[in-house]
């Protein structure tokens, strides 16, 4: 079978993987003294479920035509993406500590030309959904059956391009496209409601004729069920609004926007790793 995903992956196994991924995020950003730990930790459970239980993919053949696609539109959460790719088998986890070092393939934002398993070079926010639509339309033209998943940040929905893409996807009835909104309620400068309040978020996506689900983005069972439901929707794009906590898993980072783009100090990293032991 050309896939590492296994439908019998238990919730306990997924929880253990998510904890390891969170440890990787802390260790890589601390080693680099740079990076974005807060938003990486908030989306950890989402990507863990996708890569280790839902997506059809093959780390030994990253260009397999029938693979599911994952577009990390919030490219600043690269420590998260690099961890799940490494733990999936796309490259040696020993490379993780080279994050953001000169000469490393693991740049601050993912580069599809250098890192196996990266589907899109992202970082300029608001563009991932458009890229995902391109993949989904290509699937239709090629008569394939893969799914395209786009993980977005809530802050980037301030971007007009997101809503242009949303309108186009609905108009063209683009299915096999599942967006997941990491709704942690913060962006670079402050709370999202302070910078540009997008509420009511779910109603906006419904108004654009998307199939909408709202879940707890840290409840693995809810994530699994929402993705299962989304895959049954035809003739319409789907968005899963995942309510998350920025910095999830580390007590002093949770809902602390200081850690949006600031790495933990060596002392903070040790404290965090003890909590994630």
Given a cut of 60, whether residue 7 has pLDDT beyond it is: no
Residue spans of the domains in the chain: they are: 11-275
pLDDT at position 244: 99
Mean pLDDT of all residues in 85-92: 98
pLDDT at 9: 86
Rounded to 5°, the CA angle 71-74-79 comes to 90
| pLDDT on residue 106 | 98
Q: How confident is residue 36, by pLDDT bands cut at 50, 70 and 90?
A: very high
Give yes or no for residue 1 having a pLDDT over 50.
no
Compute the distance between CA of residue 223 and CA of residue 215 in angstroms, rounded to an integer: 7
pLDDT at position 84 over 80: yes
pLDDT of 6: 52
Assess whether the previous peptide bond of 272 is cis (omega < 30° from 0).
no
Range 54-60 average pLDDT: 97
% pLDDT > 70, the chain? 97
**Mean pLDDT (whole number) for 99-116:** 98
Res. 3 pLDDT band, cuts 50 70 90: low
What does the pLDDT average to over 167-171?
Answer: 98
The predicted model gives 217-245 an average pLDDT of: 98
CATH 3.30.43.10 fits 11-275, yes or no: no
- 57 pLDDT more than 80: yes
Q: Are 55 and 127 in contact (CB under 8 A)?
A: no
Find the largest Cα–Cα distance for the chain. Answer: 53
């Amino acid at each position: 079978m050309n896939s590492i995903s296994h439908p019998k992956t238990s919730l306990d196994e997924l929880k253990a993987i998510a904890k390891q991924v969170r440890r990787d995020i802390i260790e890589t950003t601390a080693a680099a003294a740079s990076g974005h730990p807060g938003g990486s930790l908030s989306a950890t459970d989402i990507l863990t479920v996708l890569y280790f239980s839902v997506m059809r993919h093959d780390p030994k053949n990253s260009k397999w035509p029938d693979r599911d696609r994952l577009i990390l539109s919030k490219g600043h959460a690269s420590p998260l993406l690099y961890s799940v790719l490494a733990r999936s088998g796309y490259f040696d986890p020993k490379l993780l500590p080279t994050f953001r070092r000169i000469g490393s393939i693991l740049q601050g934002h993912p580069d599809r030309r250098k890192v196996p398993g990266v589907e899109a070079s992202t970082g300029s926010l608001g563009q991932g959904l458009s890229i995902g639509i391109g993949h989904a339309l290509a699937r239709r033209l090629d008569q394939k059956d893969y799914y395209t998943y786009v993980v977005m940040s809530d802050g980037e929905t301030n971007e007009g391009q997101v809503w242009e893409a949303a309108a186009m996807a609905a108009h063209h009835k683009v299915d096999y496209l599942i967006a997941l909104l990491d709704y942690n309620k913060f962006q670079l400068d402050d709370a999202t409601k302070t910078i540009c309040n997008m509420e009511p978020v779910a109603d906006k996506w419904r108004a654009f004729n998307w199939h909408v689900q709202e879940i707890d983005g840290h409840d693995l069972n809810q994530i699994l069920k929402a993705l299962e439901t989304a895959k049954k929707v035809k003739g319409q794009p789907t968005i899963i609004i995942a309510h998350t906590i920025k910095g999830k898993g580390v007590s002093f980072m949770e809902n602390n926007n200081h850690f949006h783009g600031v790495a933990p100090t060596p002392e903070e990293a040790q404290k965090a790793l003890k909590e994630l032991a």
